[in-house]
């Protein structure tokens, strides 16, 4: 059984290391059935840069009420690089 779900991001997100646009996002916050979720409904998600191969984790900077989530932008998330 899959353990990830996919994340839809409607904004451009650049890799903080090489500047390449990140394209595929995933999360382990959902049911793990390869469903699609809007990023605004998640606190954490990630992407692997296809150019430099680093794992980029995005985390909500501060808690937000459910009623205000629709106003979130990608700038409301911190980017953290995981180098393996």
State which H helix or E strand residue 36 sits in: strand 36-38
Q: What is the residue-level pLDDT of the chain in tens, covering all 84 positions?
A: 569 999 999 999 999 999 999 999 999 988 889 999 999 999 999 999 999 999 999 999 999 999 999 999 999 999 999 876
Q: First-to-last CA distance in the chain?
A: 25
pTM exceeding 0.85: yes
Dihedral, 47, 23, 18, 70 alpha carbons, nearest 10: -70
């Amino acid at each position: 059984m899959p353990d990830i779900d996919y994340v839809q991001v409607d904004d451009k997100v650049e890799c903080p290391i090489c500047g390449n646009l990140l394209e595929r996002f995933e999360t382990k916050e959902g049911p793990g059935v390869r469903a699609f979720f809007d990023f605004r409904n998640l606190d954490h998600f990630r992407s692997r840069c296809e150019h430099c191969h680093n794992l980029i984790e995005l985390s909500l900077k501060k808690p937000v009420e459910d009623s205000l989530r629709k106003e979130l932008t990608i700038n409301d998330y911190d980017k953290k690089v995981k180098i393996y």
